[in-house]
């Protein structure tokens, strides 16, 4: 939820911020708005093999790797997001650089909390991710509404500062909880009860009956030996 709050806030509000606060025209606004996400895509391609190599080479344990990448993705991007609130209107180039870096670095958290679904429940990772993503995507509804409520004047940098502070706060708190409670241990509910088919049930029944018959014959055989012994004794 913390990562998605920042993601949706920036995704939906960057064009408005660039136009109203930085004063960029529509043409340059489109290019600048796309730049953070192009950087995010490029960085994710670089980080994917790096994260895999660190874990396979045993340089980082799985739990440590998840927490390190999540911390980089949330706390560093949160610091940059808060820094945006202290820039002046004439520092447009710095603001664009910070926006780009904030969105790009946030992709690092995908190698933390996102991959963690597979760690917790390999058999139910899809279901677990769906449930988590359902809650996280609610931020896509709430965050823009909050921006509309707080930023009544889109040219007011002080109102935008509140939005950046809220996003940074969400990112900091979210990763704080992940550092404390995050784990890569497979959970007990990952193991689902095995469903036995009708054919398997029939096979088990046949095996059980065979064992019962064999046991019954084994018990009767000694009794026959005893009767033979009695007859022999009588003859003598």
156 phi/psi in degrees, rounded to 5: -85, 110
The whole-number pLDDT of residue 229 equals 41
pTM: 0.75
- Residue pair 43/105 in contact (Cβ under 8 Å)? The answer is yes
What is the maximum alpha-carbon separation in the chain?
126
In a structure prediction context, what are the per-residue pLDDT tens digits for the chain, which is 236 residues long? 788 888 888 888 888 888 888 887 766 777 788 888 899 999 999 998 999 999 889 899 999 999 999 999 999 999 999 998 888 878 888 888 888 899 999 999 999 998 999 899 998 888 888 888 888 888 888 988 999 999 999 888 889 999 999 999 999 999 999 999 999 998 888 876 666 566 666 677 666 766 666 666 565 555 555 444 444 444 44
In CATH, the number for domain 1-181 is 1.20.1250
Residues 2-18: b if buried by 16+ CB within 10 A, e if exposed:
bbbbbbbbbbebbeebb
Angle between helices 125-137 and 139-150 (to 10 degrees): 20
pLDDT at position 136: 85
Radius of gyration of the chain (CA): 32
pLDDT reported for residue 67:
95
In angstroms, the CA 107 to CA 145 distance is: 24
């Amino acid at each position: 939820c913390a990562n998605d709050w920042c993601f949706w806030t920036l995704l939906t509000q960057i064009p408005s911020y660039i136009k109203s606060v930085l004063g960029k025209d529509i043409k340059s606004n489109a290019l600048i708005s796309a730049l953070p996400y192009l950087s995010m895509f490029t960085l994710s391609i670089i980080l994917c093999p790096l994260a895999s190599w660190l874990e396979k080479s045993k340089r980082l344990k799985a739990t440590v790797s998840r927490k390190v990448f999540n911390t980089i993705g949330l706390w560093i991007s949160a610091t940059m997001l808060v820094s945006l609130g202290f820039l002046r209107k004439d520092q447009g180039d710095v603001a664009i650089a910070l926006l780009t870096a904030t969105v790009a670095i946030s992709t690092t958290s995908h190698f933390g909390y996102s991959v963690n679904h597979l760690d917790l429940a390999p058999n139910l990772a899809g279901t677990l991710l769906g449930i988590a993503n359902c809650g996280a995507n609610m931020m896509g509804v709430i965050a823009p509404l909050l921006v509309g409520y707080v930023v009544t004047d889109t040219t007011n940098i002080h109102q935008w500062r509140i939005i950046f502070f809220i996003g940074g706060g969400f990112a900091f708190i979210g990763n704080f909880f992940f550092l404390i409670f995050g784990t890569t241990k497979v959970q007990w509910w990952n193991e689902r009860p095995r469903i036995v088919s009708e054919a398997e049930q029939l096979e088990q029944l046949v095996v059980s009956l065979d064992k019962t018959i064999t046991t019954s014959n084994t018990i009767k055989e000694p009794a026959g030996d005893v009767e033979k012994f009695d007859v022999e004794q009588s003859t003598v």
